[in-house]
Structure 1
Amino acid sequence: MATCAEILRSEFPEIDGQVFDYVTGVLHSGSADFESVDDLVEAVGELLQEVSGDSKDDAGIRAVCQRMYNTLRLAEPQSQGSSQVLLDAPIQLSKITENYDCDTKLPGLLKREQSSTVNAKKLEKAEARLKAKQEKRSEKDTLKTSNPLVLEEASASQAGSRKESRLESSGKNKSYDVRIENFDVSFGDRVLLAGADVNLAWGRRYGLVGRNGLGKTTLLKMLATRSLRVPAHISLLHVEQEVAGDDTPALQSVLESDSVREDLLQRERKLSAQIAAGRAEGPEAAQLAEIYAKLEEIEADKAPARASVILAGLGFTPKMQQQPTREFSGGWRMRLALARALFARPDLLLLDEPTNMLDVRAILWLENYLQTWPSTILVVSHDRNFLNAIATDIIHLHSQRLDGYRGDFETFIKSKQERLLNQQREYEAQQQYRQHIQVFIDRFRYNANRASQVQSKLKMLEKLPELKPVDKESEVVMKFPDGFEKFSPPILQLDEVDFYYDPKHIIFSRLSVSADLESRICVVWLLFVYSLSCNSCTTESAGWAILRP
């Protein structure tokens, strides 16, 4: 604070001692409350303006406050790290004041002016304003302490079933159907599903559809983490994250996803090494024969060929299958994650937009491959053609519930329209019937001769099921302005750009490209280009082959 005091003495040599004490006290006790120089000007600016008289205008007072504010900010780390120091010997104040001139205006307890030229009301007003600001800051700190910032996470709750619990505990549940009833899913304070039911029959392929933001991906995560109770004997796999990059070849990475095969091979190598070294004691030979029988049962020798077929279908060339995973981009690592899932063959496969990282050829291959999938699939996709090709059932997420439909996506669209139309007709018919009964009740409510009939009508109204109007999804309307101010080119410019995932394998180097508002750019991967030259061919009819990854 000594630096701030020196600034006050140099800028305001005639400052009153009481004002000096007040200002230095404010700077000392409230330094943590000053978030900007404006806060400091608000606290002491009026007092300093009155002390300066006509010598300084508002800009001059603000400049002085800026200097003191900078000093406080620089002094913060030192003050936070300071500690109390025990003096080696007592200090006499009289010796400290020997070097001061008696005529010098000393602040505080050493010497106080006999009169004050400062308006006492303004001083009280400034003190009240500072106190209010400190109380407000204290309330904010208390609120932060009592309500710490917590990241919202998804949660699920599910009604328990004693019958299912007994089956799980006894180990007699051998069904591979997934049936989850009366469950809720929420994300923070927002309810995504309430009292929902989902039934996944073994061997069926389900497409989960619905508008963005309603909770499709969250539902997959609740199933993948078993936050919703899925029978323990059912293996499930959620393709969500890309494969981590390391020195493992792509083909080996896929083979390692079969944990049963990898465990048997590891045990086989260990036992074979013991037998070869002459350290076998007898049981090793029997164990090795048992492992060979299990490997033959799961067709372990055909696993590399099956993994290679899956990788080839997803676009991996034989050379790429031998490359380390660290050399692949994020899109190719996602393909690897999908290949691992297809190779592992879980009982319940959860896919979230699997076609996003695939080209047309890989999508067609995946459609054909999943059509013969032996177990259950639950896939989220916005690709109609993909859902039409693989889905045997559609689950529609809307209005915090799940509705099931048989058939592919096109069948679902037709069935949904018919169901909504029937629901609306049923609701309108019931409303007319209710209105008709209510008219009779209102007409003869106070007629003694019709009292029994009125009571009968009232009971009829109570027994009628309460139908709700059809909840139609709101339409999204997007409006764009007709005219706008064009930006001067270039909008985007790249000069001498290099790009790579591995420094040893550069994707492209020294690329220079620019784009403006009139540009229409298509990025493709050109594997080979050829043209046909003949007398009957024109430039337009020349053949070009562009393969996209």
Structure 2
Amino acid sequence: MAPSIAQQIRGACPKLDPVVQDYASGYLYHHVSTLDSALERSVDAGADLHNELLFVRQLLVDAGGDTEAVQKLTAGLWEQFQATLQAKLEKAGGADRQGTVRKLEQAMVIGAQRGVISSVGLFGTETDLEAVGGRRVESKVDKKKLEKAERKIAAKLEKRAMKTVEYEASRLLRERPKEDYDEFYMQVNPLLLGSAAAGKSKDIKLDNIDLYVGAGQRILSDTTLTLAHGHRYGLIGQNGIGKSTLLRALSRRELAVPKHITILHVEQELVGDDTPALQAVLDADVWRKHLLQEQHRILTRLAELDSLQAAAAEQGDRGDDGSAGTRAQIETEREELDTTLVEVHSKLSEIESEKAEPRAASILAGLGFSKEAQQNPTNSFSGGWRMRLALARALFCKPDLLLLDEPSNMLDVPSITFLSYYLQGYPGTVLVVSHDRAFLNEVATDIIHQHSERLDYYRSSNFDVFYATREERRKNQRREYETQMAYRKHLQTFIDKFRYNAAKSSEAQSRIKKLEKLPVLELPEEDATVTFRFPEVEKISPPILQLQNVSFAYPASKRLVLTGVDMDVQMDSRIALVGANGSGKTTLLKVLTQATEPTSGLVSRNGRLRIGYFAQHHVDGMDLNLSAVAWMTKNWPGKSDEEYRRHLGAFGITGTLGLQKMQLLSGGQKSRVAFACLGLTNPHILVLDEPSNHLDTAGLDALADAVRKFEGGVLMVSHDVTLIDRTMDQIWVCEDGAVNKFPGTIHDYKREVLARSDAVGLMH
């Protein structure tokens, strides 16, 4: 029953501190497991269990659990406990137990009649914890443990309350969540020009950070965030560790970033409307837009004053005595407007407004927008292209602190090449969450490793150097820990031996003081090992899969997406498909897997061929209300739950993860479930469309190892240069409807893309 109780508590209160979850489940398990001894002692076990459930209910709610969820949890547990009690009653026998049986039956009946555990007890109303069945009962709660748990929870909540500083931007988000972008931007990033911003350091150092997400789940504890101006930081860590939450807190100034440091966070795709793409990028600089609007207002008013002044002059010529006063008022307003206009022009000049349009056009071109596309309205673009627009807006604004969350997920290889080159010359500070090693190697000057509610810093732009440095740190920490433990043991042995020896008592006291002064060291944690394992492949004879002169056009369009494609996929093929978004890569995969039929040409397949297809948007095909085990049982029946769980374990979905609803899993965990389902088809060929999205570093390493060991063929669309370099030996490029083999490696292809972009001036 212990695992069942623990699972139910974690399911009802998934965001609670694990210490509270473990204490509550262990506490209930202890009391359920002692029912036999309660019967032996003739103790009212039903009343005791009622008390313990009420105590645990209050404990979970006080710790931050959802009241309704906790009430449902405790009601369900009571039903289970009633069944357990009834089973104990049925087994009870003998004259010496008859009195106990009657007491238990009476307690259960009275409890049911009075609604002790129903709506009166576990569903929200106050219940006297010391009175059950009309009499006082002795509490079986361990008061010392209870007090300790209460003190810990109270201290945690108090610390959180004290360290949650309210900033203007975060209040804006909470109180007016639908506030338009312009007002939010100006609130978060006040315009500071000239002397107002001069001489102020743009370094960021925030000490003693505590950061929470949801109902009490802590992701950073008493740690320090240090960002040196001009450095580019790669923020890495396991899926679900809280990296995106940290970026969001910085962007909303929920952490005390100095007000003179401007911040922009690329998190969500741009909301489309009729604004042209180029204008949408220009409008991202809200202060420039505001100043241009102010300039237009002033010039319009000056033109109106010219007309009024001319009319007043005519009145004066006709001898109107009031015209002199009117002309004076007009002149005064004109002088004020002229002064304001000079200030506006000065500010526009300082932010180099006249260079804005060519710079915005260059950024859009680098991210794949043609000159024609730059004039299209934003609502005409798909989600992926709107994400590019959001990125272009951020690059155009040039904030002091640029926050990017997995930017490579939305880009193809040419656009990633442009972005990495662009960021290398970025004048401000960049903090980017990414698991793309090649991208980080090119962009990052520093690595920040987020783990165990803290941040560790590594001054290295090379991922391999980071891993080597981190491993060396661990070895040193382990060595220091082991040395100290040996020294502690040596001191303790002497103390135990001579503590009460009169001749040696002073030496023993001296060693006690030394022991007390030693710093408390912890054994460094080890990363959880993640492995993917695809099944063994049944051999089949060639030809395996061939395309001959294949072309494809969507029914509603006359434009050919693919033209005259010839391709041969064998059991030993390792093919990477690259090219710009929209060039036809995913369409080609659908033709290969027979998800769609070609417009012309021939697709020939071995009659026994099985293809395992990993779709880029694989989550759309999952029923997230089911667990991974239930999803597999429904779609790939024939195995026991234990076999499905073992299979999921081969892809890092271990423990109870396979039994949780998939909607509770992180993006990386959902991807692992999709890979596990892929293996159930026993494929001869793997067709993978952007498999690296959402996987953390450990997941990417596991995927690369599994693909290398797979004995069948692999055809993969990916933007992850490192993954391609580690697993593929052929590069095929989709461009202008054609699909051709590239004579070189993925790095050669990147150099060609860079040279081509440089030739048209996109990199300058």
Q: Which string of whole-angstrom CA distances, capped at 9 and with x for unpartnered residues, describes residues 455-493 of structure 1?
A: 111111111111111111222345677799xxxxxxxxx
Instruction: Normalising by structure 2, report the TM-score.
Output: 0.44
Instruction: Quote how far apart the aligned CAs of 1:145 are.
Output: 12
Cα–Cα, structure 1 residues 216 and 540, in superposed 2: closer, same or farther, change >3 Å? closer
The share of aligned pairs that are identical, in percent, is 45
- Show the counterpart of 2:729: none
* Residues 499 and 439 (structure 1), Cα distance of their counterparts in 2 relative to 1, 3 Å cut: farther
Assess if the C-alpha contact under 8 Å between 2:262 and 2:400 holds in 1.
Answer: yes
**Is the alpha carbon distance of 1:522 and 1:482 closer, same or farther for their aligned partners in structure 2, counting shifts above 3 Å?**
closer
| Partner SS, residue 514 of structure 1 | coil
How far, CA to CA, are the matches of 2:223 and 2:499 in structure 1?
42
Amino acid at match of 1:223: L
What CA distance in whole angstroms lies between the structure 2 residues aligned with 1:290 and 1:185? 41
Matches within 5 A, 1:164-179: 174-179=200-205
Match of 1:415 in 2: 469
Match of 1:365 among 418, 423, 435: 418
Measure, in 1, the Cα distance between the counterparts of 2:396 and 2:742. 44
Counterparts in 2 of 1:522 and 1:450: CA distance versus 1, 3 Å: closer
**What SS class does the counterpart of residue 447 from structure 1 fall into?**
coil
Give the corresponding residue for 2:482.
428
What is residue 736 of structure 2 aligned with on the other side?
528
How does 1:207-218 map onto structure 2 within 5 Å? 207-218=234-245
1:26-425 residue pairs with structure 2 within 5 A? Answer: 138-139=119-120, 142-143=123-124, 159=163, 174-187=200-213, 188-277=215-304, 278-279=306-307, 281=331, 282-283=334-335, 284-408=337-461, 409-425=463-479
One-letter identity of the residue aligned with 1:465: P
The 3 A distance-change label for structure 1 pair 145 and 274 is: farther
In the aligned structure 1, how far is the partner of 2:203 from the partner of 2:217? 29
The reply to whether residue 438 of structure 1 matches residue 492 of structure 2 is: yes
Q: Distance in 2 between matches of 1:471 and 1:237?
A: 34
Match of 2:474, SS? helix
* Aligned position for 2:7: none
Using the TM superposition, give the Cα deviation of residue 133 of structure 1 relative to its aligned residue in structure 2, in angstroms.
11
Aligned pairs for 1:458-477 (under 5 A) are: 458-477=512-531
Deviations 1:389-448 (A, max 9, x none): 111111111111111111113322121111111111111111111122222223323322
Paired residue secondary structure (2:225): strand
Number of equivalent positions: 377
Tell me the residue number matched to 2:651.
none
Measured on the aligned residues, the alpha-carbon RMSD in Å equals: 4.0
Q: CA deviation at 1:320?
A: 0.6
Structure 2 counterpart SS, 1:208: strand
Measured in 1, the distance between the counterparts of 2:583 and 2:460 equals 44
Amino acid at match of 1:185: L
Query: Which residue identity is paired with 1:446?
Result: Y
For residues 505-549 of structure 1, the C-alpha deviation after alignment (integer angstroms, 9 at most, x for no partner) is: x9999x9953894266577895425699xxxxxx999xxx9x99x
Residue 349 of structure 1: CA displacement? Answer: 1.1
The alpha-carbon deviation at position 239 of structure 1 amounts to 0.7
Partner of residue 101, structure 2: none
Q: How far is 1:497 from its partner? A: 8.6
C-alpha spacing 1:293/1:480, structure 2 compared with 1 (3 Å): closer
**Aligned partners of 2:120 and 2:126 also within 8 Å:** no
Task: Please give the per-residue CA displacement for 1:43-89, whole angstroms capped at 9, x wherever unaligned.
Answer: xxxxxxxxxxxxxxxxxxxxxxxxxxxxxxxxxxxxxxxxxxxxxxx
Aligned residues of 1:353 and 1:379 also touching (Cα < 8 A)? yes
Q: Displacement of 1:370 after TM fit?
A: 0.7
SS at match of 1:361: helix
Query: Could you tell me which amino acid in structure 2 is paired with residue 388 of structure 1?
Result: N
Inter-partner Cα distance in structure 1 for 2:126 and 2:283:
48
The residue that corresponds to 1:456 in the other structure is 510
User: How far 1:312 moved relative to its partner?
Assistant: 0.7
Q: In 2, are the aligned partners of 1:351 and 1:379 still within 8 Å (CA)?
A: yes
- TM-superposed deviation, 1:229: 1.6
Contact 2:208–2:224 (Cα < 8 Å) also in 1 = yes
Give the superposition deviation at 1:189: 3.4
Q: CA deviation at 1:374?
A: 1.0
What is the identity, as a one-letter code, of the residue corresponding to 2:212?
Answer: S
Report Cα offsets for 1:317-341 as digits up to 9, x if no partner. Answer: 1011000000000000000001101
Partner Cα separation in structure 1 for residue 530 and residue 121 of structure 2: 39
- In structure 2, how many angstroms separate the alpha carbons of the residues matched to 1:227 and 1:197? 15
- Give the distance between the partners of 2:115 and 2:502, measured in 1 at CA: 74
Deviates more, 1:237-246 or 1:446-455: 446-455
CA–CA separation in structure 2 for the residues paired with 1:242 and 1:305: 23
1-structure distance, mates of 2:509, 2:487: 17
User: Aligned partner of 2:256: which letter?
Assistant: R
1:175-208: CA deviation from partner (whole Å, max 9, x where unpaired): 2221111121223232222111111111111111
CA distance change for structure 1 residues 447 and 362 in 2, over 3 Å: closer, same or farther?
same
Which residue of structure 1 lines up, in the alignment, with residue 61 of structure 2? none
> Structure 1 regions of 5+ residues with no counterpart?
1-127, 147-154, 162-170, 485-495, 501-505, 533-538
Query: Aligned to 2:208, what secondary structure does the other structure show?
Result: strand
Any conservation in 2 of the 1:177–1:202 contact (CA below 8 Å)? Answer: yes
Candidates 501, 518, 541, aligned match of 1:447: 501
Kept in 2, the 8 Å contact 1:156–1:228? The answer is no
Deviates more, 1:359-368 or 1:173-182: 173-182
Q: Alpha-carbon deviation of 1:498?
A: 7.4
Change (3 A) 1:140 1:526: farther
Name the SS of the counterpart of 1:407 in structure 2. Answer: coil
| 3-state SS, counterpart of residue 243 of structure 1 | coil
Taking the aligned partners of 1:299 and 1:208, their CA distance within structure 2 comes to 32
Tell me the distance in 2 between the aligned counterparts of 1:439 and 1:521.
63
Distance 1:244 1:214, change over 3 A: same
Distance 2:504 2:520 in 1: 26
Q: Aligned in 2, Cα 1:144/1:353: closer, same or farther, shift over 3 Å?
A: farther
For residues 205 and 356 of structure 2, what CA distance do their matches in structure 1 show? 32
Change (3 A) 1:349 1:507: closer
Query: Is 1:239–1:351's contact at 8 Å kept on the other side of the alignment?
Result: yes
The whole-number CA distance in structure 1 between the counterparts of 2:400 and 2:445 is: 17
SS in 2 for 1:142: coil
> How far apart are residue 231 of structure 1 and its match?
1.5
Which one-letter code corresponds to 2:357 in the other structure?
Answer: P
How far, CA to CA, are the matches of 1:232 and 1:139 in structure 2? Answer: 52
- The equivalent residue for 2:758 is none
Partner letter of residue 452 of structure 2?
A: S
2:455 and 2:248 mapped to 1: Cα distance? 16
Q: Deviations over 1:348-373 (max 9, x none)?
A: 11110011101111111111111111
Aligned twin of 1:16: none
